[in-house]
Structure 1
Amino acid sequence: MFMRTVPARQGAQWIADGWALFRLHPWIWIALGVINLVVSLILESIPYASALNSVFAVLWTGGMCVAAERCRTTGVVRIADVTDGMRAKLQPLFAAGVFAFLITIICDLTGGSVSDGFSLLLKTVPSHQFSGVWQDVPWLYVLVYVVAAVGGAMALWLAPPLIVLTDAAPVDALKQSFAAACRNVWPTLIYGLIVAGLAIASIVTLGLGLLVIVPLLYLSTFAACRELFSLDSSESS
């Protein structure tokens, strides 16, 4: 599978490309974003089920990318396109979802110790005790958490669209996604900063901005995958 290296400015272009798709059928994309948020909130509210959100996110990303591809090629999108896309690639998407679930468990197990350690560090007074507590921070947990969170995010970012758009096997999709993120650090960083800015903007709008930001996140991921793996050129060949 051919993988491209693109300039940093393309991180912003992925958002623009996603926005162009969003504008074609904004109300349907908003409806899909609402469904996404509702299911996520339900899973979060169920004891011991919050980690399943990671599995759902992978499945939903795959379905949204199928809907985005239909919108791009036909100009039409339906809510059923998402569920149809998930069903068509359920097994490989679920396998990638299991990986996401394991990453979530690792982050949950190490995150508590990391949070407790830094909370104690920040509360330490007087300052002469600071160095002693600094040594007590669980640095091994910090390392495991950072590696799992960052590495997992890189591997999972483009894996669902690769599975549904190129029929990639789950392990191959995870590897290719990780490699694409490594080879395109600057556009990926720009993209992440813009997404973070949009998330902050949603707070200003009392969460209403999420109705647009959530589907835009999926659509821009779809756009990034298409460019980084030259799917347009593969179709024309």
Structure 2
Amino acid sequence: MTEPASPAAHPYQDARHPRPRHVSPAASLTWLKSGWASFTRNPGVWMAISLVFFVILVALLAIPVLGMVVAIIGFPVLAAGMVQGCAAQARGEPLKVDHLFAGLRVHAAHLALVGCFYLLGTVVAGVLPALLGGLLLTGLFYTKLHSLSWLAVVLGSAAFATGIIITIMTIMITALWFATPLVALKDTPPLDAMKMSLAACFNNLGAFVVLGVLIYVLIWVALLPLGLGMLVLVPVLAGTLHASFLDVFGAPPALAPAGGTET
């Protein structure tokens, strides 16, 4: 007599596919506090990591077209390195500048594949509105409309195209947010990681709307002193990402002592 088949496990339940949990909108504040605490534990090394990160980006973006492609594909690899640096700090290990390149040593191909998906979404966000706009203008060329009607149609088309771009980029950003730590820390397959990230972000829409607004404000504040504030904001956001990942997919984040140093 055969044993009855065991019920199928939840697809986001095992080690590589952890189940996301729901958190309150106020959790975004805790994540940012954790990000700041992570930065203040070793601000010198974190700012050095940020500086190297920006030097790499500037060097890549100086290369026409190809540099942009490499920067987008490589972004999750570098972000994973910073997340692994946060994880090392959480384990009590010293933070090093070469943590930035840890993503090259662990799951580099899968992280680059996440970047390829993001690149594809970016291309779609740029091409689709232009294609639809071209088709609309072609149709209008053969249609007799009053000048005011033309203006209304053009403005409406521009608003529609903007809506498409915002929608696609929002989906891509939410799909990327948790994908990097899922691949780097849980060895989750890239496409599964992006699906899980998208589901987790929309399941916690309130928290991520608040977090998005706060990050938007912080970016403008960081840009004020000649952009130097970005050297602080980047590691704070890396710590925020790590804290949100632990909160949604693992143990809730514990705030590190603000003035502590690595031993």
What TM-score do the two structures reach when normalised by structure 1? Answer: 0.85
Question: What is the CA-CA distance between 1:174 and the residue it aligns to?
Answer: 0.3
For 2:116, the equivalent position in structure 1 comes to 98
Q: Which structure has more helix as a fraction of its residues? A: 1
Pick closer, same or farther for the CA change 1:73–1:106 going to 2, 3 Å. Answer: same
Distance 2:214 2:132 in 1: 27
Q: Within the alignment, does 1:201 sit opposite 2:218 as a pair?
A: no
Pick closer, same or farther for the CA change 1:196–1:232 going to 2, 3 Å. Answer: closer
**Does the 8 A contact of 2:121 with 2:169 survive in 1?**
yes
Q: Within the alignment, does 1:31 sit opposite 2:64 as a pair?
A: no
Secondary structure class of the residue paired with 1:51: helix
**Does the 8 A contact of 1:85 with 1:164 survive in 2?**
yes
| Unaligned ranges ≥5, structure 1 | 117-127
Letter in 1 for 2:172: G
Cα root mean square deviation, aligned: 2.4
Q: Within the alignment, does 1:62 sit opposite 2:80 as a pair?
A: yes
| Unaligned ranges ≥5, structure 2 | 1-17, 135-145, 254-263
Q: Within the alignment, does 1:10 sit opposite 2:27 as a pair?
A: yes
Distance 2:199 2:73 in 1: 22
For 1:188, the equivalent position in structure 2 comes to 208
Give the share of equivalent positions with the same residue, in percent.
Answer: 24
**Does the 8 A contact of 1:67 with 1:85 survive in 2?**
no
Residue of structure 2 aligned with 1:52, choices 48, 65, 70: 70
Distance 2:147 2:243 in 1: 51
Secondary structure class of the residue paired with 1:68: helix
Residue by residue over 1:143-174, the C-alpha shift from the partner in whole angstroms, topping out at 9 and shown as x without a partner, is: 54233211111101110011111111101110
Q: Decide which structure has the larger Cα Rg and report it.
A: 2
Distance 2:24 2:229 in 1: 28
Question: What is the CA-CA distance between 1:189 and the residue it aligns to?
Answer: 0.9
Distance 2:129 2:172 in 1: 15
Pick closer, same or farther for the CA change 1:149–1:115 going to 2, 3 Å. Answer: farther
Question: What is the CA-CA distance between 1:59 and the residue it aligns to?
Answer: 0.8
Residue of structure 2 aligned with 1:107, choices 125, 134, 142: 125
The answer to which of 155-164 and 100-109 deviates more is: 100-109
Matched ranges for 1:143-158 at <5 A:
143-158=163-178
Question: What is the CA-CA distance between 1:216 and the residue it aligns to?
Answer: 1.2
Q: Within the alignment, does 1:76 sit opposite 2:94 as a pair?
A: yes
Pick closer, same or farther for the CA change 1:108–1:66 going to 2, 3 Å. Answer: same
Aligned length: 222
**Does the 8 A contact of 1:114 with 1:142 survive in 2?**
no
